[in-house]
Amino acid sequence: MKTMKSIFLSVIMILSLASFLKAQIKFSGYFSFEYLKSQQEGVCPDGTFKNLSGGLLAAGTISDRLTFLTEVQLRLNENFTLRQAYLNIQGSDSLNIRLGLFEIPFGRFNRLARPSENPTVLRPLVFHFFPFRWNDLGLCWEGNFSVFYYSAFMVNGLSVDQDGYLTTAAQDINKDKALGGRLGLRLGEGFEAGGSIYTGKYDSDGSKRIVFEGVDLIWVTAEWEVRGEYIKTIYDHATSDEKMEFDGYYLTASMIVKNFRPFLSYQHSFVPDYLVNDEQAPALGVFIENMVKKTRLALGFKWEISKNFFAKFEYDWNKEKDVSIKDNALSVQLGFVF
Protein backbone atom coordinates (compact mmCIF):
# COMPACT_ATOMS: atom_id res chain seq x y z
CA MET A 1 0.00 0.00 0.00
CA LYS A 2 2.86 2.37 0.81
CA THR A 3 4.41 1.60 -2.58
CA MET A 4 1.17 2.44 -4.37
CA LYS A 5 0.86 5.72 -2.47
CA SER A 6 4.47 6.67 -3.24
CA ILE A 7 4.02 5.99 -6.95
CA PHE A 8 0.72 7.86 -7.07
CA LEU A 9 2.13 10.89 -5.25
CA SER A 10 5.28 10.96 -7.41
CA VAL A 11 3.33 10.88 -10.67
CA ILE A 12 0.82 13.47 -9.44
CA MET A 13 3.66 15.76 -8.31
CA ILE A 14 5.40 15.63 -11.69
CA LEU A 15 2.20 16.09 -13.68
CA SER A 16 1.09 18.93 -11.38
CA LEU A 17 4.43 20.68 -11.84
CA ALA A 18 4.15 20.21 -15.59
CA SER A 19 0.62 21.60 -15.58
CA PHE A 20 1.66 24.58 -13.46
CA LEU A 21 4.51 25.34 -15.85
CA LYS A 22 2.26 24.78 -18.88
CA ALA A 23 4.31 21.89 -20.21
CA GLN A 24 3.50 20.08 -23.43
CA ILE A 25 2.80 16.49 -22.37
CA LYS A 26 2.83 13.41 -24.59
CA PHE A 27 1.61 10.01 -23.44
CA SER A 28 2.73 6.63 -24.73
CA GLY A 29 2.53 3.08 -23.53
CA TYR A 30 2.98 -0.62 -24.17
CA PHE A 31 1.25 -3.90 -23.42
CA SER A 32 2.16 -7.56 -23.92
CA PHE A 33 1.42 -11.11 -22.84
CA GLU A 34 2.93 -14.49 -23.65
CA TYR A 35 2.21 -18.15 -24.25
CA LEU A 36 4.91 -20.47 -22.85
CA LYS A 37 5.29 -24.23 -23.40
CA SER A 38 8.31 -26.16 -22.17
CA GLN A 39 9.55 -29.72 -22.06
CA GLN A 40 8.50 -31.88 -19.12
CA GLU A 41 11.26 -30.65 -16.78
CA GLY A 42 10.71 -27.00 -17.65
CA VAL A 43 8.48 -24.41 -16.00
CA CYS A 44 5.39 -24.75 -18.22
CA PRO A 45 5.14 -28.37 -19.45
CA ASP A 46 1.38 -28.06 -20.02
CA GLY A 47 1.56 -24.67 -21.72
CA THR A 48 0.14 -21.50 -20.23
CA PHE A 49 -0.65 -17.85 -20.96
CA LYS A 50 1.28 -15.59 -18.56
CA ASN A 51 3.42 -12.47 -18.08
CA LEU A 52 0.62 -10.00 -18.73
CA SER A 53 2.19 -6.58 -18.31
CA GLY A 54 1.94 -3.00 -19.50
CA GLY A 55 3.33 0.44 -18.94
CA LEU A 56 2.44 4.10 -19.36
CA LEU A 57 4.89 6.93 -20.03
CA ALA A 58 4.30 10.66 -19.78
CA ALA A 59 6.97 12.93 -21.26
CA GLY A 60 6.84 16.67 -21.52
CA THR A 61 8.71 19.83 -22.38
CA ILE A 62 8.60 22.45 -19.64
CA SER A 63 10.96 24.87 -21.38
CA ASP A 64 13.56 24.82 -24.14
CA ARG A 65 16.08 23.16 -21.82
CA LEU A 66 13.90 21.45 -19.22
CA THR A 67 11.94 18.25 -19.87
CA PHE A 68 10.61 15.42 -17.75
CA LEU A 69 9.63 11.76 -18.07
CA THR A 70 7.72 9.41 -15.80
CA GLU A 71 6.90 5.74 -16.39
CA VAL A 72 4.76 3.33 -14.40
CA GLN A 73 4.48 -0.41 -15.04
CA LEU A 74 1.96 -3.05 -14.03
CA ARG A 75 2.43 -6.82 -14.13
CA LEU A 76 -0.38 -9.27 -13.42
CA ASN A 77 -0.59 -10.20 -9.71
CA GLU A 78 1.92 -7.47 -8.82
CA ASN A 79 1.62 -3.87 -7.64
CA PHE A 80 2.27 -0.88 -9.85
CA THR A 81 5.98 -0.05 -9.99
CA LEU A 82 7.51 3.31 -10.75
CA ARG A 83 10.15 2.66 -13.40
CA GLN A 84 11.28 6.22 -14.09
CA ALA A 85 10.56 9.74 -12.84
CA TYR A 86 13.17 12.35 -13.65
CA LEU A 87 13.79 15.90 -14.76
CA ASN A 88 16.11 16.39 -17.71
CA ILE A 89 18.23 19.54 -18.08
CA GLN A 90 19.59 19.97 -21.60
CA GLY A 91 22.61 22.27 -21.63
CA SER A 92 24.13 21.25 -24.96
CA ASP A 93 24.95 18.11 -26.92
CA SER A 94 27.78 17.45 -24.50
CA LEU A 95 25.86 18.29 -21.30
CA ASN A 96 22.58 16.60 -20.47
CA ILE A 97 21.65 16.11 -16.78
CA ARG A 98 19.00 13.74 -15.41
CA LEU A 99 17.79 14.12 -11.82
CA GLY A 100 15.54 11.53 -10.19
CA LEU A 101 14.73 7.89 -10.86
CA PHE A 102 16.15 6.58 -14.15
CA GLU A 103 17.25 3.38 -15.86
CA ILE A 104 20.96 2.73 -15.32
CA PRO A 105 22.94 3.40 -18.53
CA PHE A 106 24.90 0.15 -18.34
CA GLY A 107 25.28 -1.37 -21.79
CA ARG A 108 22.32 -1.27 -24.17
CA PHE A 109 19.76 -3.92 -23.26
CA ASN A 110 18.93 -2.51 -19.83
CA ARG A 111 17.59 0.66 -21.44
CA LEU A 112 15.91 -1.15 -24.34
CA ALA A 113 14.20 -4.01 -22.52
CA ARG A 114 10.55 -3.27 -23.25
CA PRO A 115 8.92 -6.00 -25.36
CA SER A 116 8.71 -3.86 -28.49
CA GLU A 117 12.36 -2.77 -28.33
CA ASN A 118 14.13 -6.11 -28.84
CA PRO A 119 13.58 -9.15 -31.06
CA THR A 120 13.60 -11.98 -28.49
CA VAL A 121 10.82 -12.93 -26.09
CA LEU A 122 13.01 -14.05 -23.17
CA ARG A 123 15.69 -11.73 -21.87
CA PRO A 124 19.28 -12.95 -22.34
CA LEU A 125 20.63 -15.17 -19.56
CA VAL A 126 23.34 -12.74 -18.50
CA PHE A 127 20.77 -10.15 -17.44
CA HIS A 128 20.03 -12.08 -14.27
CA PHE A 129 23.21 -10.63 -12.77
CA PHE A 130 21.47 -7.38 -11.84
CA PRO A 131 17.76 -6.49 -11.43
CA PHE A 132 15.69 -6.60 -14.60
CA ARG A 133 15.26 -3.07 -16.00
CA TRP A 134 17.72 -1.86 -13.38
CA ASN A 135 16.88 1.64 -12.16
CA ASP A 136 18.02 3.81 -9.28
CA LEU A 137 17.69 7.24 -7.72
CA GLY A 138 20.41 9.84 -8.30
CA LEU A 139 21.84 11.96 -11.09
CA CYS A 140 23.22 11.16 -14.52
CA TRP A 141 25.31 13.17 -16.97
CA GLU A 142 24.97 12.20 -20.63
CA GLY A 143 26.15 13.66 -23.89
CA ASN A 144 28.20 13.19 -27.00
CA PHE A 145 31.24 14.78 -28.56
CA SER A 146 32.03 13.95 -32.17
CA VAL A 147 31.87 10.13 -32.42
CA PHE A 148 31.92 9.59 -28.64
CA TYR A 149 28.76 9.02 -26.59
CA TYR A 150 29.05 8.93 -22.82
CA SER A 151 27.12 8.57 -19.57
CA ALA A 152 28.26 9.00 -15.97
CA PHE A 153 26.03 8.50 -12.94
CA MET A 154 25.97 8.64 -9.16
CA VAL A 155 23.13 6.73 -7.46
CA ASN A 156 22.17 5.17 -4.13
CA GLY A 157 23.42 1.80 -5.33
CA LEU A 158 22.33 -1.81 -5.19
CA SER A 159 21.52 -3.49 -1.90
CA VAL A 160 20.28 -6.99 -1.01
CA ASP A 161 16.89 -8.23 0.13
CA GLN A 162 16.31 -10.59 3.07
CA ASP A 163 17.33 -13.57 0.95
CA GLY A 164 20.54 -11.97 -0.30
CA TYR A 165 19.43 -11.11 -3.84
CA LEU A 166 20.49 -7.81 -5.38
CA THR A 167 17.78 -5.17 -5.48
CA THR A 168 17.28 -1.43 -5.76
CA ALA A 169 16.22 -0.09 -2.38
CA ALA A 170 13.92 2.88 -1.89
CA GLN A 171 16.70 4.64 0.03
CA ASP A 172 20.44 4.36 0.46
CA ILE A 173 21.40 1.75 3.07
CA ASN A 174 24.96 3.04 3.62
CA LYS A 175 27.07 6.16 3.24
CA ASP A 176 28.62 4.94 0.01
CA LYS A 177 27.28 6.25 -3.29
CA ALA A 178 27.57 3.95 -6.30
CA LEU A 179 29.30 5.27 -9.40
CA GLY A 180 29.38 4.15 -12.99
CA GLY A 181 29.04 5.04 -16.61
CA ARG A 182 29.36 4.06 -20.24
CA LEU A 183 31.59 5.28 -23.06
CA GLY A 184 30.54 4.48 -26.62
CA LEU A 185 32.17 4.94 -30.02
CA ARG A 186 29.81 5.41 -32.97
CA LEU A 187 31.16 4.90 -36.47
CA GLY A 188 28.79 6.07 -39.17
CA GLU A 189 25.06 5.54 -38.80
CA GLY A 190 25.02 1.82 -38.11
CA PHE A 191 27.81 0.76 -35.77
CA GLU A 192 28.44 1.52 -32.11
CA ALA A 193 30.58 -0.22 -29.49
CA GLY A 194 30.80 0.72 -25.84
CA GLY A 195 32.19 -0.17 -22.45
CA SER A 196 30.38 0.15 -19.10
CA ILE A 197 31.26 -0.04 -15.42
CA TYR A 198 29.44 0.08 -12.08
CA THR A 199 30.94 -0.03 -8.60
CA GLY A 200 29.29 0.27 -5.19
CA LYS A 201 28.80 -1.26 -1.72
CA TYR A 202 25.77 -3.46 -1.17
CA ASP A 203 25.74 -3.92 2.62
CA SER A 204 24.71 -1.57 5.44
CA ASP A 205 28.26 -1.43 6.83
CA GLY A 206 29.67 -0.35 3.47
CA SER A 207 32.31 -3.09 3.52
CA LYS A 208 31.13 -5.40 0.71
CA ARG A 209 31.76 -4.18 -2.83
CA ILE A 210 30.18 -5.28 -6.08
CA VAL A 211 31.49 -4.35 -9.54
CA PHE A 212 29.97 -4.86 -12.98
CA GLU A 213 32.04 -4.52 -16.15
CA GLY A 214 30.52 -4.70 -19.61
CA VAL A 215 31.15 -4.41 -23.33
CA ASP A 216 28.36 -3.95 -25.87
CA LEU A 217 27.96 -3.52 -29.62
CA ILE A 218 25.29 -2.93 -32.21
CA TRP A 219 25.62 -2.99 -35.99
CA VAL A 220 22.66 -2.10 -38.20
CA THR A 221 22.36 -2.10 -41.99
CA ALA A 222 19.35 -2.00 -44.28
CA GLU A 223 19.13 -5.81 -44.17
CA TRP A 224 20.74 -6.85 -40.87
CA GLU A 225 20.98 -6.01 -37.19
CA VAL A 226 23.58 -7.55 -34.87
CA ARG A 227 23.66 -6.78 -31.15
CA GLY A 228 25.53 -8.31 -28.25
CA GLU A 229 26.87 -7.73 -24.73
CA TYR A 230 29.44 -9.22 -22.40
CA ILE A 231 29.06 -8.67 -18.64
CA LYS A 232 31.31 -9.63 -15.75
CA THR A 233 30.41 -9.34 -12.08
CA ILE A 234 32.98 -9.26 -9.27
CA TYR A 235 31.75 -9.10 -5.69
CA ASP A 236 32.75 -9.75 -2.09
CA HIS A 237 30.93 -12.80 -0.76
CA ALA A 238 28.45 -11.89 1.97
CA THR A 239 29.81 -14.24 4.67
CA SER A 240 33.47 -14.69 3.73
CA ASP A 241 36.43 -12.74 2.44
CA GLU A 242 36.32 -14.58 -0.87
CA LYS A 243 35.97 -12.53 -4.03
CA MET A 244 33.50 -14.10 -6.47
CA GLU A 245 33.64 -13.61 -10.23
CA PHE A 246 31.13 -14.69 -12.90
CA ASP A 247 30.48 -13.61 -16.47
CA GLY A 248 28.30 -14.17 -19.51
CA TYR A 249 27.41 -12.87 -22.94
CA TYR A 250 24.85 -12.97 -25.72
CA LEU A 251 24.88 -12.30 -29.46
CA THR A 252 21.71 -11.82 -31.51
CA ALA A 253 21.60 -11.48 -35.31
CA SER A 254 18.34 -10.60 -37.04
CA MET A 255 17.48 -10.20 -40.72
CA ILE A 256 15.32 -7.22 -41.67
CA VAL A 257 12.77 -8.12 -44.34
CA LYS A 258 10.32 -5.22 -44.33
CA ASN A 259 8.15 -5.85 -41.23
CA PHE A 260 9.41 -9.42 -40.69
CA ARG A 261 12.58 -10.08 -38.66
CA PRO A 262 13.83 -13.65 -38.23
CA PHE A 263 16.60 -13.90 -35.61
CA LEU A 264 19.20 -16.24 -34.16
CA SER A 265 20.56 -15.69 -30.65
CA TYR A 266 23.38 -17.46 -28.82
CA GLN A 267 23.74 -16.96 -25.06
CA HIS A 268 26.29 -18.26 -22.58
CA SER A 269 26.34 -17.40 -18.89
CA PHE A 270 26.89 -18.60 -15.36
CA VAL A 271 23.57 -19.28 -13.61
CA PRO A 272 22.70 -20.78 -10.19
CA ASP A 273 22.66 -24.58 -10.31
CA TYR A 274 19.06 -24.63 -9.05
CA LEU A 275 17.81 -22.23 -11.75
CA VAL A 276 15.15 -23.60 -14.07
CA ASN A 277 12.81 -20.63 -14.52
CA ASP A 278 15.16 -18.27 -16.36
CA GLU A 279 12.59 -15.60 -17.10
CA GLN A 280 11.31 -15.04 -13.55
CA ALA A 281 14.61 -15.61 -11.74
CA PRO A 282 15.79 -13.01 -9.23
CA ALA A 283 19.01 -11.06 -9.64
CA LEU A 284 22.36 -12.38 -8.42
CA GLY A 285 22.49 -13.64 -4.82
CA VAL A 286 25.51 -12.62 -2.74
CA PHE A 287 25.39 -15.90 -0.76
CA ILE A 288 25.93 -17.97 -3.91
CA GLU A 289 29.14 -19.97 -3.93
CA ASN A 290 28.58 -22.25 -6.93
CA MET A 291 27.25 -21.51 -10.38
CA VAL A 292 26.91 -23.66 -13.49
CA LYS A 293 27.51 -22.70 -17.09
CA LYS A 294 24.48 -22.61 -19.32
CA THR A 295 24.06 -21.99 -23.02
CA ARG A 296 20.89 -21.10 -24.88
CA LEU A 297 20.33 -21.14 -28.61
CA ALA A 298 17.23 -19.19 -29.59
CA LEU A 299 15.64 -19.18 -33.03
CA GLY A 300 12.55 -17.20 -33.95
CA PHE A 301 11.09 -14.10 -35.54
CA LYS A 302 9.44 -10.79 -34.75
CA TRP A 303 6.55 -9.71 -36.98
CA GLU A 304 5.45 -6.09 -37.04
CA ILE A 305 1.80 -6.71 -37.88
CA SER A 306 1.08 -3.00 -38.03
CA LYS A 307 2.53 0.24 -36.73
CA ASN A 308 1.24 -0.55 -33.24
CA PHE A 309 0.94 -4.34 -33.07
CA PHE A 310 3.65 -7.00 -33.06
CA ALA A 311 4.06 -10.74 -32.53
CA LYS A 312 7.11 -12.82 -31.64
CA PHE A 313 7.82 -16.52 -31.93
CA GLU A 314 10.85 -18.09 -30.21
CA TYR A 315 12.15 -21.59 -29.54
CA ASP A 316 14.97 -22.03 -27.02
CA TRP A 317 17.39 -24.92 -26.77
CA ASN A 318 18.79 -24.86 -23.22
CA LYS A 319 21.88 -26.81 -22.22
CA GLU A 320 23.62 -26.83 -18.86
CA LYS A 321 27.20 -28.08 -18.84
CA ASP A 322 27.05 -29.73 -15.43
CA VAL A 323 23.30 -30.26 -14.99
CA SER A 324 21.09 -32.19 -17.40
CA ILE A 325 17.60 -30.68 -17.60
CA LYS A 326 15.12 -31.20 -20.41
CA ASP A 327 13.73 -27.67 -20.41
CA ASN A 328 13.73 -26.51 -24.03
CA ALA A 329 10.87 -24.05 -24.46
CA LEU A 330 8.56 -22.43 -26.96
CA SER A 331 7.41 -18.86 -26.32
CA VAL A 332 4.99 -16.62 -28.22
CA GLN A 333 4.51 -12.97 -27.37
CA LEU A 334 1.80 -10.57 -28.55
CA GLY A 335 1.89 -6.87 -27.80
CA PHE A 336 1.16 -3.35 -28.88
CA VAL A 337 2.50 0.15 -28.36
CA PHE A 338 0.72 3.48 -28.53
Mean pLDDT in residue range 265-283: 81
Residue 172's pLDDT is what?
A: 86
Report the distance separating Cα 87 and Cα 59, nearest Å: 10
> Comparing 76 with 102, which gets the higher pLDDT?
102
**Is there a contact between 130 and 283 (Cβ–Cβ < 8 Å)?**
yes
7: pLDDT strictly greater than 80: no
Average pLDDT over residues 158-169: 91
Distance separating alpha carbons of residues 175 and 166, to the nearest angstrom: 18
Check if the beta carbon of residue 211 is closer than 8 Å to that of residue 197: yes
The rounded percent of the chain whose pLDDT value lies above 70 is: 91
What are the domain boundaries of the chain?
2-13+25-337
Q: Which helix (H) or strand (E) holds 11?
A: helix 2-20
For residues 69 and 62, give the distance between their C-alpha atoms in angstroms, rounded to a whole number.
Answer: 11
Residues 121-136 pLDDT 10s: 999 999 989 999 999 9
Q: For the segment 186-202, what is each residue's pLDDT rounded down to a tens digit?
A: 998 899 999 999 999 99
In whole angstroms, what is the distance from residue 303 CA to residue 101 CA? 33
Q: Above 70 in pLDDT, residue 70? A: yes
Question: What is the per-residue DSSP string for 23-73?
Answer: -EEEEEEEEEEEEEEE-TTSS-TT-EEEEEEEEEEEEEESSSSEEEEEEEE
- Over 80: is that where the pLDDT of 213 sits? yes
Name the band, by pLDDT with cuts 50, 70 and 90, for residue 1: very low
**Backbone phi, then psi, for 265, in 5-degree steps?**
-130, 135
Residue 17 scores a pLDDT above 70: no
Look at 18 and 170; give whichever has higher pLDDT: 170
Q: Return d(Cα 68, Cα 70) in angstroms, integer.
A: 7
CA angle 93, 106, 69 (to 5 degrees): 55
Rg (CA), the chain: 20
* pLDDT for the residue numbered 6: 52
pLDDT of 173 over the 50 cut: yes
Mean pLDDT of the chain: 90
Q: Which of 79, 239, 81 is nearest to 164 (CA)?
A: 239
**According to CATH, what is the number of the domain 2-13+25-337?**
2.40.160.10
Q: Are 155 and 137 in contact (CB under 8 A)?
A: yes
pLDDT recorded at residue 170: 73
- pTM recorded for the entire structure: 0.89
Q: What mean pLDDT is predicted for residues 8-24?
A: 58
